């Protein structure tokens, strides 16, 4: 629902590898599940860096490539109509480590990563529209259980084996010398 607070929101269609914005135009850039769809992710990161102001932040929340997620994709999504050419080209290599490396190469600093969705998302069938994923009660239970389990000490390594997504946050340096 539109409000006066966002009445000036402007939607622009463009190429992520050649953003139609002036240098240092944005304070924040957020990509929710979009990065792994880009054919030339490095070029897109360079463009994001260019349009961010010094001190600006970029955030990615992406599906991760892990032995577990790659095995499930191999079993269930080999010929999936939802997978883009970019997905098929490099989704099995898209990890928080690979994104961190590219962000560092481009010049970003203060890069933090975390893993998420080790239980509810994989058990729901991801975007396969399985019955478990359609049950609001079951999904609420699974997400609450996941939240409680991830607070248990010593289990992070186990959960990371089954994680489905990762979050990466990075900052454009205030000056070139900061990078």
84-95 per-position pLDDT tens digit: 666 666 666 778
Q: Which residue has the higher pLDDT, 111 or 80?
A: 111
The domain spans of the chain are: 24-117+164-179, 119-162
pLDDT digits (tens, 9 = 90+) for 21-77: 999 999 999 998 888 888 889 999 999 999 999 999 999 998 887 777 667 666 666
The pLDDT-based confidence of 158 (bands split at 50, 70, 90) is: confident
Measure the CA–CA gap between 96 and 61, rounded to whole angstroms.
10
Helix 41-51 / helix 96-106 crossing angle, nearest 10 deg: 50
| Per-residue confidence (pLDDT) for residue 124, from 0 to 100 | 65
Closest C-alpha to 99, from 55, 52, 47, 63 = 63
Instruction: Characterize 53-68 residue by residue with b for buried, 16 or more Cβ atoms within 10 angstroms of its Cβ, and e for exposed.
Output: eeebbbebbbbbbbeb
- CA 175 to centroid of chain Cα atoms: 26
DSSP β-bridge partners for residue 118: none
> Looking at the predicted structure, is the pLDDT value of residue 107 above 90?
yes
Please measure the distance between the N-terminal and C-terminal CA atoms of the chain and give it in whole angstroms.
Answer: 40
Closest C-alpha to 166, from 96, 68, 105 = 96
Measure the CA–CA gap between 19 and 168, rounded to whole angstroms.
21
Measure the CA–CA gap between 114 and 166, rounded to whole angstroms.
6
> Looking at the predicted structure, is the pLDDT value of residue 113 above 70?
yes
pTM: 0.77
Fold of 24-117+164-179: Rossmann fold (3.40.50)
Pairing of strands 26-32, 52-63: parallel
> Looking at the predicted structure, is the pLDDT value of residue 144 above 60?
yes
* Lookup result for tokens 């860096």: 49
> pLDDT exceeding 70 applies to what percent of the chain?
72
The pLDDT-based confidence of 2 (bands split at 50, 70, 90) is: very low
């Amino acid at each position: 629902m539109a409000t006066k607070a966002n009445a000036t929101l402007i939607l622009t269609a463009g190429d992520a590898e050649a953003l139609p914005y002036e240098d240092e135009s944005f304070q924040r850039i957020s990509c929710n599940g979009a990065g792994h769809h880009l054919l030339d992710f490095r070029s897109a990161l360079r463009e994001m860096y260019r349009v961010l102001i010094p001190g600006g932040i970029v955030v990615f929340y992406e599906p991760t490539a892990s032995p577990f997620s790659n095995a499930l994709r191999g079993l269930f999504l080999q010929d999936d109509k939802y997978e883009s050419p970019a997905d098929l080209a490099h989704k099995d290599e898209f990890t928080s480590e690979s994104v961190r490396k590219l962000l560092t190469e481009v010049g970003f600093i203060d890069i933090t990563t975390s893993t998420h969705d080790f239980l509810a998302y994989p058990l729901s069938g991801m975007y396969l529209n399985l019955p478990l994923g359609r049950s609001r009660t079951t999904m609420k239970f699974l997400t609450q259980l996941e939240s409680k389990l991830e607070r248990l000490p010593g289990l992070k390594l186990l959960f990371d084996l089954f994680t489905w997504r990762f979050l990466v946050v990075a900052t454009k340096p205030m000056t070139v010398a900061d990078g």
